[in-house]
Structure 1
Amino acid sequence: MDILIRQELPADYDSTEEMVKEAFSHEDYSDKNEHFLVKRLRNSDVFIPELSLVALTQSKEIVGHILLSKIKISDGEKAGDSLALAPLSVRPGYQGKGIGSQLIRTALNKAKEIGYHSVIVLGHKNYYPKFGFKPASLWNIHAPFEVPDEIFMALELTENALKNAAGVVHYSKAFSE
């Protein structure tokens, strides 16, 4: 399938949110509010426009979206910057065709290119490891809430980026509103 991945533009916002809503409409683990999260993140100080990407068909239909936003990892004494991968969305009917993988690879490459060194994700234990994600606990990095170890993962975009990053992940308030 021929898919174009590019930065999301303000003109895409309504279409993206509708696609995100549709993508999560039948997911059991979803609160069905991911489209509101996307909107809140866009309106926050953690939003990085270059890391909000859409996947388009040849007819310019938005069929996928990924968002990486700024987070902090701190242990009380020190804090480091990282990124959260959330959410990743692919329109039903286009899932299972590699679009999510293309979005992830493109977003990770772009994040590294613009100077970010690590990414945190709360996601499927059998999906994200194929991109290099490992349990965040390997670096003594923990979620700010109770979550199974195998679904809270981290990825170093540059070697040893998380070597001294132990602590708790602090998400933007946009995640909890």
Structure 2
Amino acid sequence: MEIRPAQPDDVPGIDALLRASFPAADEAMLVQRLCIDGDMVLTMVAHDEAESGVVGMAAFSRMDVAVNGRAVAAVALAPVATLPGWRRQGIAEMLIAAGHDMLERAGYVLAFVLGDRGYYRRFGYDADWAKGFDSPYAGEHLMVLPLQSAGMPCGVRGHAAHARAFAALAGAGEGA
């Protein structure tokens, strides 16, 4: 199995993976909209030749974020998916870690995620750090991770806006 950035030939496999991994097509539509709108920053895939394609993926999309009045380069992690038969093998963890490494090297400062605190805490995401950000998704499930070695300073205040495509997903009743 290979963990790598997605390539154009992976698009059908990513779409099939998302449709097989979630009860509705909302996440597949989210990824399509992020790409069409030009908001997709990085999509990591787990590719297995024996399986003939994509068995896992993690998407990172552009955000509009300001910290203490200054714009910073930030991304949102979502969605993350692994084919049912490939779950609980560490694939999602490898995808997320590889994505974080690439984004850090590219100069991104923060990564946000909406999700289970227990799960995303293992990657360093923290809901307490997100409390200082004004966001339509503010609450216990909004978490942030500093990607640069300086870490997260105390008293951070700012705003964090996800790409427009997330509002459409939330409007579909599935949340973001």
TM-score, length-scaled by structure 1: 0.83
Equivalent residue number for residue 32 of structure 2: 39
Partner of 1:152: 142
Q: Which runs of 5+ in 2 are unaligned?
A: 169-176
C-alpha change, 1:73 and 1:140, in structure 2 (3 Å) is same
SS of the aligned residue for 1:88 comes to: strand
User: 2:134 & 2:83 partners in 1: Cα distance?
Assistant: 31
The 1:142–1:160 alpha-carbon spacing in structure 2 relative to 1, beyond 3 Å, is: farther
SS at match of 1:12: helix
CA separation of 1:126/1:43 partners in 2, compared to 1, >3 Å: closer, same or farther?
same
Shift of 1:52: 0.8
1:100 to partner: Cα distance? 0.4
RMSD, matched Cα:
2.2
Change over 3 Å in CA distance of 1:41–1:96 after alignment to 2: same
Change (3 A) 1:124 1:41: same
1:124 Cα deviation from its structure 2 partner: 1.1
1:66 has 2:64 as partner: no
Change (3 A) 1:32 1:125: farther
In structure 2, which of residues 134, 141, 159 is the aligned counterpart of residue 168 of structure 1? 159
Name the CA distance, whole Å, in 2 between partners of 1:77 and 1:102: 34
- 8 A Cα contact 1:47 1:69, kept in partner: yes
Tell me by how many angstroms 1:162 deviates: 4.6
2:115 paired residue among 113, 123, 126: 123
Q: Report the more deviating stretch, 10-19 or 51-60.
A: 51-60
Count of matched residue pairs: 166
Aligned twin of 1:28: none
Q: 1:77 to 1:138 in 2, by over 3 A?
A: closer
Amino acid corresponding to residue 18 of structure 1 in structure 2: A
Q: CA deviation at 1:75?
A: 7.4
- After TM superposition, the score normalised by the length of structure 2 is 0.84
1:101 pairs, out of 87, 93, 108, with 93
Q: Name the aligned partner's letter for residue 96 of structure 2.
A: I
The Cα of 1:143 is off from its aligned counterpart by: 2.9
- 1:62 Cα deviation from its structure 2 partner: 0.8
Alignment partner, residue 18 of structure 2: 20
Question: Do 1:82 and 1:120's aligned partners in 2 also have CA atoms closer than 8 Å?
Answer: yes
Distance change (3 Å), C-alpha of 1:8 and 1:22: same
1:134-170 C-alpha deviation (Å, 9 max, x unpaired) = 115456124314x542x21100011346537522311
Gaps of 5+ in 1: 26-30
Bigger fraction of residues in helix:
2
Residue among 1, 7, 14 paired with 2:5: 7
